Amino acid sequence: MADLSVNYLGLNLRSPLIVGSSGLTSGPAEMKKLEDNGAGAVVVKSLFEEQIRLEADHQAQGMRTDSMMSVGDLEIFDYLDYQVKEKYLTGYLERLHQAKKSLMIPVIASINCVSSSEWVAFARQIEEAGADALELNIALMPAHTDITEQQIVAIHQDIIFKVKEHLSIPVAVKMSPSFANMSWALRQIAQARPRGLVLFNRFYSPDINLDTLQVQPAPKFSSSSDLSQSLRWISLMSGKVGCDLCASTGVHTGEDVLKVLLAGGKAAQCVSALYQHGPQHIQAMNAAMERWMEKKGYNYVDQFAGKLHEFEGNNPGVFERIQFMKYYAQIGDKTQPEA
Ligand SMILES: Cc1cc2nc3c(=O)[nH]c(=O)nc-3n(C[C@H](O)[C@H](O)[C@H](O)COP(=O)(O)O)c2cc1C
């Protein structure tokens, strides 16, 4: 029987299929169900830096207006800030600790962050609670007009450096799909030496309702066709960034995971498909991978991993232009009357 085991971030996974950070991984019982259905690892629902900050600010604001405290009472605000952080963190650590007690597969903690502020000191407690690795979801939307791409990259590096100072477990970074020069950004961020890069995060997308004339969220779930962005960049960057690459966005089937492995990825994260089909879909995905491996005569993932890495060659710009011309030339030909 085909062996699906892989190594990602230095962790041994029985399957390359990881359940990504989401409501599916919010509690130990939910995560256990994912393990029982064959997940290789789970990324716990993120602890949100901004949520903690907002609540601390909100409570401090309330105290200022309710009790006529002066802004000079800084100590109490610092204390409040600390209390709020502790409240969020304690709940998170408890869930992590319980998950580690009941699961055999690796449990990867996740923090959604926008800066390297004081929360970084909490990273140590996450490690102590038993997390096997930490995934940083650095959620800097490329929508600010007053910040350059270089500055966004520098913030990534700063966060990674500071987090790594506190930790001995591996750190992975979940990347935004929005960089004008993706290969430059990935190489720069990799210089901060994360153990892995997760390509890519999926942001909220807007849509417009023509009946109500209101802006509304676009569908929150992806489809298999969204995988191509991850596939392209995994294929181009594998072996060039000195760390593991993992896919996220558009991984819906066992065949999708196989494509990620062929492109040079070490593992693939799945969320939307599991919301749509339930945790038992993991079994179907693993079975599809095994069937394909048996059909092709592969016993181990290493026998085919990375076979199609760099399928776009060393010069992605040239490749893209050639494909663009070929693609549209073909469509043009089909519209010509038959000779
Ligand atoms: C309901 C929902 C909740 C999510 N929560 C988080 C989160 O807390 N942290 C995070 O890093 N990503 C979160 N994500 C993003 C997913 O981890 C994943 O990157 C994204 O859904 C793309 O993968 P998919 O195509 O398999 O859905 C969430 C996604 C969904 C649909």
Asked whether residue 66 carries a pLDDT value surpassing 60, the answer given is: no
Q: Is 246 in the pocket of ligand 1 (CB under 6 A)?
A: no
Q: Is 22 in the pocket of ligand 1 (CB under 6 A)?
A: yes
List C-alpha distances in Å: 303 to 262, 281, 296, 300: 10, 25, 10, 6
Q: Is residue 336 a part of any domain in this protein?
A: no
Task: Tell how far the Cα of 229 is from the centroid of ligand 1, in angstroms.
Answer: 16
Q: Calculate mean pLDDT across residues 98-117.
A: 93
Number of domains in the chain: 1
Q: Is 249 in the pocket of ligand 1 (CB under 6 A)?
A: yes
Q: Calculate mean pLDDT across residues 310-336.
A: 61
Q: Is residue 27 a part of any domain in this protein?
A: yes
Task: Tell how far the Cα of 321 is from the centroid of ligand 1, in angstroms.
Answer: 32
pLDDT at 275: 98
Q: Which strand (E) or helix (H) includes residue 55?
A: helix 49-67
Model confidence at 58, pLDDT cuts 50, 70, 90, reads: low
- Residue whose C-alpha is closest to residue 101's, from 39, 37, 47, 31: 31
pLDDT at 97: 96
Model confidence at 62, pLDDT cuts 50, 70, 90, reads: low
Task: Tell how far the Cα of 19 is from the centroid of ligand 1, in angstroms.
Answer: 10
Q: Which strand (E) or helix (H) includes residue 111?
A: strand 107-113
Tell me the one-letter amino acid at 321. R
Name 214's bridge partners: 209
Question: Of the spans 63-67, 161-165, 217-221, 272-276, which averages the highest pLDDT?
Answer: 272-276
Q: Is 222 in the pocket of ligand 1 (CB under 6 A)?
A: yes
pLDDT at 154: 95
Q: Is residue 334 a part of any domain in this protein?
A: no
Closest-lying ligand 1 atom to the alpha carbon of residue 251: 26
Domain range for 75 is 6-310
Closest-lying ligand 1 atom to the alpha carbon of residue 137: 11
Residue owning the nearest CA to atom 4 of ligand 1: 22
> What does pTM read for this prediction?
0.88
pLDDT at 75: 58
Q: Is residue 323 a part of any domain in this protein?
A: no
- DSSP 8-state secondary structure symbol assigned to residue 3: B
Contact criterion met (CB below 8 Å) for 201 and 177 = yes
Q: Quick one: tokens of 195?
A: 């153990």
Question: Of the spans 29-38, 63-72, 315-324, which averages the highest pLDDT?
Answer: 29-38
Task: Tell how far the Cα of 284 is from the centroid of ligand 1, in angstroms.
Answer: 21
Task: Tell how far the Cα of 83 is from the centroid of ligand 1, in angstroms.
Answer: 28
Q: Is 45 in the pocket of ligand 1 (CB under 6 A)?
A: yes
Longest dimension (CA), the chain: 86
Q: Calculate mean pLDDT across residues 313-335.
A: 61
Q: Is residue 326 a part of any domain in this protein?
A: no
Residue owning the nearest CA to atom 22 of ligand 1: 249
**Pocket probe mutation, ligand 1, options 17, 19, 21, max atoms within 8 Å of Cβ:** 21
Asked whether residue 333 carries a pLDDT value surpassing 90, the answer given is: no
Q: Is residue 120 a part of any domain in this protein?
A: yes
What is the CATH number for 171?
A: 3.20.20.70
Q: What is the pLDDT of residues 183-242, one digit of tens each?
A: 999 999 999 999 999 999 998 788 999 999 999 988 889 999 999 999 999 999 999 999
Q: Is residue 338 a part of any domain in this protein?
A: no
Q: Is 271 in the pocket of ligand 1 (CB under 6 A)?
A: yes
Distance CA 42, CA 31 (A): 7
pLDDT at 71: 46
Q: Is residue 1 a part of any domain in this protein?
A: no
CA atoms within 13 A on the CB side of 187: 8
Task: Tell how far the Cα of 61 is from the centroid of ligand 1, in angstroms.
Answer: 31
